[in-house]
């Protein structure tokens, strides 16, 4: 079912015919359906996938030596990070295990059927799509277990990455439940800036968050002793050389590599993307402290599939869009 993305019991010819008949009587294999596909000029593919009467988005990113699938964990997101399009849509519900692993299954089936076009099979999965994975721990962990299981997709634990904005109690639970690669959405060198752009920081500040990260690393083999720091570059907000020095000091006790992410715009956002020169200066400061620093290449931005641009189709249960209308704030048209 997983290895071959098979959804027809009759095609499972390595199973006894009688058993196939019984399976047809009591079960069906039904994965979420793709309702829209967009293809970028750089080879990235974005699928809008139906989950009930709403949509989430899943992104396939091919590279020279691998292919990464970015998977959603929730319909919308409750965390309200100011620079992220998903967060502006509001929040509706957690995805079920079947809806999470179904994104992987559906993508693998599409890519597998297109091998003749040279599309690379999925080698990596990142829980970096719509939603905060740690707010849906009870469904995300079983889905990742299927990704890792040899009878599932058989991925290495170093090739399945969970990204979090800092739900500290759930991060501690995660370390007792599963071992996968960890990335953290830090995005600021101090609490003052992070309180503004990542509001959950007001509940779990940077010091508390990084302490939980270090506890996770102590238990983990998948991370090879270090965490990935995600840092979106916002023009004249968090991208000055003084911020780079602060970040280096902040991370001196946390083994890590740092991904600098050029911000990807969306309608109504109050930010600008840092210039290449500011990103370059920032990167050089971090490298002078000995940090492995990578400037992430923007992929799929021409189809709104890049980091922070996923929106889907969300019925907002948090009334966030209504509050914005009443406050006179700009609203992404996809949220209406």
CATH number of the domain at 12, please: 1.10.150.530
Q: What does the pLDDT look like over 39-85, one tens digit per residue?
A: 988 889 999 999 988 999 999 999 888 999 999 999 999 998 999 88
Q: State how far the Cα of 311 lies from the Cα of 206, in Å rounded to an integer.
A: 27
131 among the known binding-site residues?
Answer: yes
Q: Which of 5, 70, 256, 307 is catalytic?
A: 307
Q: What does the pLDDT look like over 118-149, one tens digit per residue?
A: 578 999 999 999 999 999 999 999 999 999 99
**DSSP assignment of 109-158, as one string?**
HHHHHTGGGTPPPP-EEEE-SSS-GGGGHHHHHHHHHHHHSTTTT---GG
The answer, yes or no, to whether residue 288 has pLDDT greater than 50, is yes
256 among the known binding-site residues?
Answer: no
Residue-level pLDDT at 85: 82
Q: How confident is the model at residue 97 (pLDDT cuts 50, 70, 90)?
A: very high
Q: What is the mean pLDDT of residues 270-282?
A: 95
Query: What pTM was estimated for this model as a whole?
Result: 0.88
The answer, yes or no, to whether residue 329 has pLDDT greater than 80, is no
183 and 218 share a domain?
A: yes
Q: State how far the Cα of 75 lies from the Cα of 135, in Å rounded to an integer.
A: 12
9 and 143 share a domain?
A: no
15 and 80 share a domain?
A: no
Residue-level pLDDT at 107: 94
202 and 278 share a domain?
A: yes
77 among the known binding-site residues?
Answer: yes
87 and 66 share a domain?
A: yes
Residue-level pLDDT at 330: 36
Residue 36 forms beta bridges with which residues?
48
Q: State how far the Cα of 60 lies from the Cα of 103, in Å rounded to an integer.
A: 11
CB 232 within 8 A of CB 279: no
Q: Is 5 annotated in the active site?
A: no
The answer, yes or no, to whether residue 117 has pLDDT greater than 70, is no
Residue-level pLDDT at 299: 67
Residue-level pLDDT at 11: 87
Locus of tokens 């996923």: 310
- Which residues lie closer than 8 Å to 19 by C-beta, 6 or more apart? none
Residue-level pLDDT at 95: 97
Closest CA to 7 of 29, 32, 25, 24: 29
- Which residues lie closer than 8 Å to 323 by C-beta, 6 or more apart? none
Q: How confident is the model at residue 220 (pLDDT cuts 50, 70, 90)?
A: very high
327 and 292 share a domain?
A: yes
5 and 125 share a domain?
A: no
185 among the known binding-site residues?
Answer: yes
175 among the known binding-site residues?
Answer: no
> Which DSSP category does 71 fall into?
-
Q: To the nearest whole percent, how much of the chain has pLDDT over 90?
A: 67
232 and 196 share a domain?
A: yes
Q: For position 292, which CATH number holds?
A: 3.20.20.70
The answer, yes or no, to whether residue 252 has pLDDT greater than 90, is yes
Q: To the nearest whole percent, how much of the chain has pLDDT over 70?
A: 87
84 among the known binding-site residues?
Answer: yes
Residue 18 belongs to domain spanning: 1-30
20 and 135 share a domain?
A: no
2 and 54 share a domain?
A: no
10 and 142 share a domain?
A: no
The token pair at 12 is 């499972």
Q: State how far the Cα of 5 lies from the Cα of 7, in Å rounded to an integer.
A: 7
The token pair at 233 is 């570059």
The answer, yes or no, to whether residue 17 has pLDDT greater than 50, is yes
Q: State how far the Cα of 140 lies from the Cα of 15, in Å rounded to an integer.
A: 30
How many other CB atoms are found less than 10 A from the CB of residue 2?
Answer: 17
Residue that wins the pLDDT comparison between 325 and 121: 121
β-pairing verdict for 227-233 and 256-262: parallel
Q: Is 307 annotated in the active site?
A: yes
274 among the known binding-site residues?
Answer: no
Q: State how far the Cα of 60 lies from the Cα of 68, in Å rounded to an integer.
A: 6
Q: Which of 57, 70, 99, 230 is catalytic?
A: 57
Q: What is the mean pLDDT of residues 104-130?
A: 84
Residue 336: strand, helix, or coil: coil
Q: What is the mean pLDDT of residues 167-175?
A: 97
Residue that wins the pLDDT comparison between 84 and 203: 203
236 among the known binding-site residues?
Answer: no
CB 89 within 8 A of CB 312: yes
Residue 178: strand, helix, or coil: coil
Q: State how far the Cα of 46 lies from the Cα of 317, in Å rounded to an integer.
A: 25
Q: What is the mean pLDDT of residues 317-326?
A: 47
Q: How many domains does the chain have?
A: 2
Residue-level pLDDT at 315: 56
Locus of tokens 């039904």: 30
Q: How confident is the model at residue 264 (pLDDT cuts 50, 70, 90)?
A: confident
26 and 36 share a domain?
A: no
Q: How confident is the model at residue 314 (pLDDT cuts 50, 70, 90)?
A: very low
CB 265 within 8 A of CB 331: no
């Amino acid at each position: 079912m997983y290895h071959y993305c098979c959804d027809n019991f009759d095609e499972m010819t390595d199973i006894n015919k009688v058993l196939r008949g019984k399976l047809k009587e009591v079960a069906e294999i039904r994965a979420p359906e793709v309702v829209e596909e967009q293809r970028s000029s750089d080879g990235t593919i974005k699928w809008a996938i139906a989950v009930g009467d709403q949509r989430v988005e899943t992104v396939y990113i091919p590279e020279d030596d691998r292919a990464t699938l970015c998977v959603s964990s929730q319909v919308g997101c409750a965390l309200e990070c100011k620079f992220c399009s998903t967060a502006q849509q509001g929040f509706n519900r957690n995805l079920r295990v079947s809806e999470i692993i179904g994104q992987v299954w559906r993508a693998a089936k599409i890519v597998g059927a297109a091998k003749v076009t040279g599309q690379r099979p999925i080698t990596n999965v990142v829980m970096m799509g719509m939603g905060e994975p740690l707010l849906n721990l009870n469904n995300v962990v079983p889905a990742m277990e299927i990704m890792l299981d040899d009878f599932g997709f058989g991925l290495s634990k170093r090739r399945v990455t969970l990204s979090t904005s800092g739900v500290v109690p759930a991060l501690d639970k995660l370390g007792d439940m599963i071992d996968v690669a960890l990335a953290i959405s830090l995005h600021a060198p101090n609490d003052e800036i992070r309180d503004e752009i990542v509001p959950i920081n007001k509940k779990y500040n940077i010091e508390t968050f990084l302490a939980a990260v270090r506890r996770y690393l102590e238990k983990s083999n998948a991370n090879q002793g270090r965490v990935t720091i995600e840092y979106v570059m916002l023009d004249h907000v968090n991208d000055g050389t003084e911020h780079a020095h602060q970040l280096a000091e902040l991370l001196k006790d946390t083994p890590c590599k740092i991904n600098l992410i050029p911000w990807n715009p969306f309608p109504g956002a109050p930010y600008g993307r840092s210039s290449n020169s500011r990103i370059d200066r920032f990167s050089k400061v971090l490298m002078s402290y000995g940090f492995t620093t990578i400037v992430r290449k923007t992929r799929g931005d021409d189809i709104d599939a890049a980091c922070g641009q996923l929106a889907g189709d969300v019925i907002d249960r948090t009334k966030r869009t209504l509050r914005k209308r009443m406050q006179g704030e700009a609203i992404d048209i996809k949220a209406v």
